Structure 1
């Protein structure tokens, strides 16, 4: 028994050490990015390299907002994120409808929604672009945000979660005279907080990192998002690695903070949505 206990502790120690080593290896590029963003341009290319800046400076971040219009890109990105959250509400309503309403063709329509998950986004970009172009919405903020309002995966997760809500509870609310919108906002949404939390995090990450579609639909730099603005650094300031690191850090750090604070909700949300 004692030998078995020692073996178990040894295995745990080895696993912990491997995890620590792996964490350090994965963290080094991130630490290097953050550190380099505070270095003068000359120090980034110094030999031997320094992990931490000898002469810390905020000049790189100041240049992002004064010379690279990153404040405008930030505003556009926040607009995309806000409308993505509006789309999240619509997806929740769709999931609730598929879960709790009986209507003709419900299952067929739901399977059609699931089928769209199997189509790569790159395949639908040209048809969506042509559709928006015929509506005069290319090179507009509306053209950027509209395609992201409906997400099949989000509808699927909401539907899976809301099937677990007792139908008797909803029927009781209807018998008490509650309207459908009142039931959804005052009864269903509080119960569905876990799935709203995980979908909110994923929606924020997707909106914050939006790159390909804004790049395709927008010809005017005043409509670019942070990701597109970051790609411009490679062309306009290809040799200024400190400025590129500052732009990358500005993009990545909010995502890391959000994910670190709410990562437990992602696991709980997937678990409670019935994904096996």
Structure 2
């Protein structure tokens, strides 16, 4: 092994340890008592592990919060992937007046912080009566500009010969999209699914504004409410953070194969 390969391997291992350490600290902290969790110097591994943090955590409606988070994140993931793939394909492969202007509007929308549109968005949802409802949490995220941008850039790389051949064979637009375009978009859809689910699961600020009752809280929002005004039980907070991280890890493991697949993978043969 060459010297630069050894150096690169060591650098990657160190980087991996740096990124994994916060997760390790959260998981071990979930099994520490309050006095141990905040001691200095820290206790790197719980010498006297306890399940009391988890018992106290589940005295709250954690299962309801978990269901809310999963339902909202899953629905957003499916809806964003469907809408973004359709819009991206049209913007990439169809020629019509105003196509560049529409795409430029999506690019401009990506530069806007969410906080800028939150007030008019909340006003609109309040007029619809959608505050503190599931559709009020899900529907505003469907037209995610980043999703449309990602799918449009990916769809541009697809071979137009496949679509022309399908049209010559009499394939309808809907059938061509579902049987030809979608399979070729799997790598981008896998990446977008991961990004969307994680963004929806961790969306604290929007859910804080759009919810009013404890039963409609998502898991990150519910865990945050356990922080006291004067004291905070960090053991319970870490237990909640560890619980909230499990679905994100699972969704990445499910879609990682699609995330790394080739773009066409033998779709065009010479």
Q: Using structure 1 for the length normalisation, give the TM-score.
A: 0.83
Q: Which residue of 1 aligns with 2:120?
A: 127
Note the C-alpha offset of 1:99: 1.4
Q: Which of 26, 39, 48 is residue 55 of structure 1 equivalent to?
A: 48
* Aligned counterparts of 2:125 and 2:250: Cα–Cα separation in 1: 35
Deviates more, 1:152-161 or 1:99-108: 99-108
Q: Which of 3, 23, 26 is residue 33 of structure 1 equivalent to?
A: 26
Q: Deviations over 1:103-134 (max 9, x none)?
A: 22111111112111111111111111111111
Note the C-alpha offset of 1:180: 1.6
Q: Which residue of 1 aligns with 2:267?
A: none
* Aligned counterparts of 2:102 and 2:40: Cα–Cα separation in 1: 61
Q: Which of 148, 169, 176 is residue 169 of structure 2 equivalent to?
A: 176
Q: Which of 138, 150, 154 is residue 161 of structure 1 equivalent to?
A: 154
Q: Which of 128, 133, 136 is residue 129 of structure 2 equivalent to?
A: 136
Q: Summarize the Cα distance change of 1:236–1:226 in structure 2 as closer, same or farther, 3 Å threshold.
A: farther
Q: Summarize the Cα distance change of 1:119–1:159 in structure 2 as closer, same or farther, 3 Å threshold.
A: same
Note the C-alpha offset of 1:70: 1.1
Q: Summarize the Cα distance change of 1:250–1:180 in structure 2 as closer, same or farther, 3 Å threshold.
A: same
* 1:59-208 correspondence runs (5 A): 59-65=52-58, 67-84=59-76, 85-208=78-201
* Aligned counterparts of 1:269 and 1:110: Cα–Cα separation in 2: 26
Is the contact between residue 226 and residue 232 of structure 2 (CA under 8 Å) also seen in structure 1?
no
Is the contact between residue 69 and residue 201 of structure 2 (CA under 8 Å) also seen in structure 1?
yes
* Aligned counterparts of 1:214 and 1:95: Cα–Cα separation in 2: 27
What is the CA RMSD across the aligned residues, in angstroms? Answer: 2.8
Q: Using structure 2 for the length normalisation, give the TM-score.
A: 0.85
Q: Summarize the Cα distance change of 1:261–1:243 in structure 2 as closer, same or farther, 3 Å threshold.
A: same
Q: Summarize the Cα distance change of 1:267–1:191 in structure 2 as closer, same or farther, 3 Å threshold.
A: closer
Gaps spanning 5+ residues in structure 1: where? 271-276
Q: Summarize the Cα distance change of 1:158–1:136 in structure 2 as closer, same or farther, 3 Å threshold.
A: same
Gaps spanning 5+ residues in structure 2: where? 264-270
Is the contact between residue 198 and residue 269 of structure 1 (CA under 8 Å) also seen in structure 2?
no
Instruction: Report which of the two has the higher share of helix.
Output: 1
Note the C-alpha offset of 1:249: 1.2
* Aligned counterparts of 1:51 and 1:140: Cα–Cα separation in 2: 42
Note the C-alpha offset of 1:222: 1.2
